[in-house]
Chains A and B, each alone.
Chain A
Amino acid sequence: MIANSFEYSSPATLAEALGLIADGAKPLSGGMSLIPMMKLRLASPEHLVDLARLPELNYIREEHGELHIGAAATHHDVENAPLTRGKCPLLAETAAHIGDIQVRNRGTIGGSVAHADPAADYPAALQALEAKIVLRSASGERTVSTADFFIDTFTTALEPGEIVVEVIVPVEPGLTGTSYQKCLQPASGFAIVGVAARVRRDGDNFGPVQIGITGLTGTSYRATAVENALTGKPATEETIRAAAAHAADGVDANSDLHASAEYRASLAVSYTARAIRSALSRSA
Chain B
Amino acid sequence: MPVSSIVKLEKLVGKRLRRREDPRLITGTATYVEDVKLPNLHHAVIVRSPHGAANIRSIDISKAQALPGVLAVYIGKDIVGVGTVPCGADLPGLRRPAHHILAQDRVYLVGHPVAVVVATDRYIAADGADLVEVDYDVLQAVTDPEKALAPGAPSVHPEWPDNIAFTFHQNGGDIDAAFAEAEVVVKQRITSQRLVPNAMETRGVVADWKSNDRSLTLHTSTQIPHLARTLLAGMLGIEENRFRLIAPEVGGGFGSKLNVYAEEALMGWISMQLGLPVKWIESRRENFMVTIHGRGHVDYLEIAAKRDGTILGLKLKLIQDLGAYHQLLTPAIPTLSVLMMPGLYNFRNIQAEIIGTFTNCVPTDAYRGAGRPEATHGIERMVDILAAELNMDPAEIRFKNFVRPEQFPFPTATGLNYDSGDYANTFQKALDTIDYQGLRTQQAEARAAGRFMGIGISTYGEICAMGPSVATPAGGWESATVKFEPSGKVTVLTGTSPHGQGQETTFAQLTADELGVPIDDIVVLHGDTSIVQYGIGTFGSRNTAVGGAALFYALQDMKEKVKKFGAAMLKTDEVIFEDGHCLDPKTGASVTVQQIAGAAYRGIVIPKGMDPGLVVTKFWEPPNFTYPFGAHIIVSEVDPETGQIEIKRYVAVDDIGNQLNPLLVDGQLHGGAAQGLGQALWEQGVYDDNGQLVTGEFMDYTMPRARMMPWIESSHTCTPSPVNPLGVKGVGEAGTIGSTPAMVNSVVDALSPLGVRHIDMPMTPEKIWKIVNGSKA
Binding site for B on A (CB under 8 A): 1-2, 4-5, 40-41, 183, 186-188, 257-260, 263, 266-267, 270
B686 A1 Cβ-Cβ under 8 A: no
Chain B: minimal CB distance from A258 (Å) = 8
Which residue in B130, B702, B770 is a CB contact (below 8 Å) of A186?
B702
In the docked arrangement, what's the CA distance between A187 and B130, Å?
Answer: 29
Report if B146 contacts A (CB, 8 A). no
Which residue in A1, A183, A187, A257 is a CB contact (below 8 Å) of B642?
A183
Report if B641 contacts A (CB, 8 A). yes
Using Cβ atoms and an 8 Å threshold, which residues of chain B touch A263?
A: 643, 765-766, 769-770
B695 A270 Cβ-Cβ under 8 A: no
Of the candidates A2, A4, A183, the one having the most CB atoms from chain B within 10 angstroms of its own CB is A2
B769 A257 Cβ-Cβ under 8 A: no
Using Cβ atoms and an 8 Å threshold, which residues of chain B touch A258?
A: 700, 764, 766
Using Cβ atoms and an 8 Å threshold, which residues of chain A touch B122?
A: 2
In the docked arrangement, what's the CA distance between A188 and B698, Å?
Answer: 7
Q: Are A2 and B123 CB-contacts (below 8 A) given A187-B702, A257-B686, A270-B642?
A: yes
B769 A5 Cβ-Cβ under 8 A: no
Question: CB-defined interface of B684-699 with A at 8 Å, one 1/0 digit per residue?
Answer: 0010000000110011
Smallest CB-CB A-B distances: 10 pairs: A2-B126, A1-B283, A187-B702, A188-B699, A263-B766, A186-B702, A270-B641, A270-B642, A187-B700, A2-B123
Using Cβ atoms and an 8 Å threshold, which residues of chain A touch B698?
A: 187-188
B130 A41 Cβ-Cβ under 8 A: yes
Report if B284 contacts A (CB, 8 A). yes
Using Cβ atoms and an 8 Å threshold, which residues of chain B touch A183?
A: 642
- Range of interface residues on B (Cβ < 8 Å): 20 to 34
Q: Which residues of B, 760-777, contact A by the 8 Å Cβ criterion?
A: 764-766, 769-770
Using Cβ atoms and an 8 Å threshold, which residues of chain A touch B402?
A: none
In the docked arrangement, what's the CA distance between A4 and B698, Å?
Answer: 22
For this complex, 14 residue pairs linking A to B, each with C-beta atoms less than 8 Å apart, are A4-B127, A5-B127, A40-B285, A186-B705, A187-B695, A187-B699, A187-B702, A257-B694, A257-B695, A258-B766, A263-B769, A267-B642, A270-B641, A270-B642
In the docked arrangement, what's the CA distance between A260 and B773, Å?
Answer: 14
Report if B74 contacts A (CB, 8 A). no
A266 B283 Cβ-Cβ under 8 A: no
B126 A259 Cβ-Cβ under 8 A: no
Using Cβ atoms and an 8 Å threshold, which residues of chain A touch B765?
A: 263
In the docked arrangement, what's the CA distance between A187 and B682, Å?
Answer: 9
In the docked arrangement, what's the CA distance between A258 and B642, Å?
Answer: 13
Using Cβ atoms and an 8 Å threshold, which residues of chain A touch B770?
A: 263
Report if B703 contacts A (CB, 8 A). yes
Contacts beyond the supplied A1-B285, A263-B643: 20 A-B pairs with Cβ under 8 Å? A1-B283, A1-B284, A2-B123, A2-B126, A4-B130, A5-B123, A5-B127, A183-B642, A186-B708, A187-B695, A187-B698, A187-B701, A187-B703, A188-B699, A188-B700, A257-B686, A257-B700, A263-B766, A263-B770, A270-B641
Using Cβ atoms and an 8 Å threshold, which residues of chain A touch B695?
A: 187, 257
Using Cβ atoms and an 8 Å threshold, which residues of chain B touch A4?
A: 127, 130
Chain B residue at smallest Cβ distance from A269:
B641
Chain A: minimal CB distance from B776 (Å) = 12
Chain B residue at smallest Cβ distance from A267:
B642
Chain B residue at smallest Cβ distance from A186:
B702
Using Cβ atoms and an 8 Å threshold, which residues of chain B touch A260?
A: 766
Using Cβ atoms and an 8 Å threshold, which residues of chain B touch A187?
A: 682, 695, 698-703
Using Cβ atoms and an 8 Å threshold, which residues of chain A touch B686?
A: 257
Chain B residue at smallest Cβ distance from A259:
B766
Chain A: minimal CB distance from B330 (Å) = 27
In the docked arrangement, what's the CA distance between A187 and B762, Å?
Answer: 13
In the docked arrangement, what's the CA distance between A258 and B765, Å?
Answer: 9
Chain B: minimal CB distance from A98 (Å) = 15
Q: Which residues of B, 706-760, contact A by the 8 Å Cβ criterion?
A: 708
Chain A: minimal CB distance from B626 (Å) = 36
In the docked arrangement, what's the CA distance between A258 and B764, Å?
Answer: 8
Chain B: minimal CB distance from A33 (Å) = 11
Chain A residue at smallest Cβ distance from B642:
A270
Chain A: minimal CB distance from B370 (Å) = 25
In the docked arrangement, what's the CA distance between A40 and B699, Å?
Answer: 13
Chain A: minimal CB distance from B708 (Å) = 7
In the docked arrangement, what's the CA distance between A153 and B462, Å?
Answer: 50
In the docked arrangement, what's the CA distance between A4 and B769, Å?
Answer: 44
A266 B699 Cβ-Cβ under 8 A: no
Using Cβ atoms and an 8 Å threshold, which residues of chain A touch B126?
A: 2
Using Cβ atoms and an 8 Å threshold, which residues of chain B touch A2?
A: 45, 122-123, 126
Q: Which residues of B, 126-177, contact A by the 8 Å Cβ criterion?
A: 126-127, 130
In the docked arrangement, what's the CA distance between A41 and B129, Å?
Answer: 12
Chain B: minimal CB distance from A176 (Å) = 27
Question: CB-defined interface of B264-293 with A at 8 Å, one 1/0 digit per residue?
Answer: 000000000000000000011100000000
In the docked arrangement, what's the CA distance between A69 and B45, Å?
Answer: 43
Chain A residue at smallest Cβ distance from B684:
A257
Q: Which residues of B, 536-584, contact A by the 8 Å Cβ criterion?
A: none
Chain A: minimal CB distance from B44 (Å) = 13
Chain A: minimal CB distance from B196 (Å) = 12
Using Cβ atoms and an 8 Å threshold, which residues of chain B touch A270?
A: 641-642
Chain A: minimal CB distance from B775 (Å) = 15
Chain B residue at smallest Cβ distance from A266:
B769
Q: Which residues of B, 270-325, contact A by the 8 Å Cβ criterion?
A: 283-285
In the docked arrangement, what's the CA distance between A4 and B708, Å?
Answer: 37
Chain B: minimal CB distance from A210 (Å) = 24
Chain A: minimal CB distance from B283 (Å) = 4
Using Cβ atoms and an 8 Å threshold, which residues of chain A touch B123?
A: 2, 5
Using Cβ atoms and an 8 Å threshold, which residues of chain B touch A5?
A: 123, 127
Using Cβ atoms and an 8 Å threshold, which residues of chain A touch B769?
A: 263, 266
Chain B residue at smallest Cβ distance from A263:
B766
Using Cβ atoms and an 8 Å threshold, which residues of chain B touch A259?
A: 766
Chain B residue at smallest Cβ distance from A187:
B702
Using Cβ atoms and an 8 Å threshold, which residues of chain A touch B642?
A: 183, 266-267, 270
Using Cβ atoms and an 8 Å threshold, which residues of chain B touch A266?
A: 642, 769
In the docked arrangement, what's the CA distance between A41 and B126, Å?
Answer: 10
Chain A residue at smallest Cβ distance from B708:
A186
Chain A residue at smallest Cβ distance from B286:
A1
In the docked arrangement, what's the CA distance between A225 and B641, Å?
Answer: 21
Chain A residue at smallest Cβ distance from B704:
A186
Q: Which residues of B, 103-138, contact A by the 8 Å Cβ criterion?
A: 122-123, 126-127, 130
In the docked arrangement, what's the CA distance between A108 and B313, Å?
Answer: 62
In the docked arrangement, what's the CA distance between A188 and B702, Å?
Answer: 8
Chain A: minimal CB distance from B67 (Å) = 12
In the docked arrangement, what's the CA distance between A2 and B121, Å?
Answer: 12
Question: CB-defined interface of B629-670 with A at 8 Å, one 1/0 digit per residue?
Answer: 000000000000111000000000000000000000000000
Chain B: minimal CB distance from A8 (Å) = 14
In the docked arrangement, what's the CA distance between A30 and B695, Å?
Answer: 26
Chain B: minimal CB distance from A223 (Å) = 18
In the docked arrangement, what's the CA distance between A259 and B708, Å?
Answer: 19
Of the candidates A187, A188, A257, the one having the most CB atoms from chain B within 10 angstroms of its own CB is A187
In the docked arrangement, what's the CA distance between A267 and B768, Å?
Answer: 13
Chain B: minimal CB distance from A32 (Å) = 12
Chain A residue at smallest Cβ distance from B641:
A270
Chain A residue at smallest Cβ distance from B639:
A270
Chain A residue at smallest Cβ distance from B129:
A2
In the docked arrangement, what's the CA distance between A4 and B123, Å?
Answer: 8
Using Cβ atoms and an 8 Å threshold, which residues of chain A touch B701?
A: 187
In the docked arrangement, what's the CA distance between A4 and B130, Å?
Answer: 10
In the docked arrangement, what's the CA distance between A5 and B45, Å?
Answer: 16
Using Cβ atoms and an 8 Å threshold, which residues of chain A touch B45?
A: 2
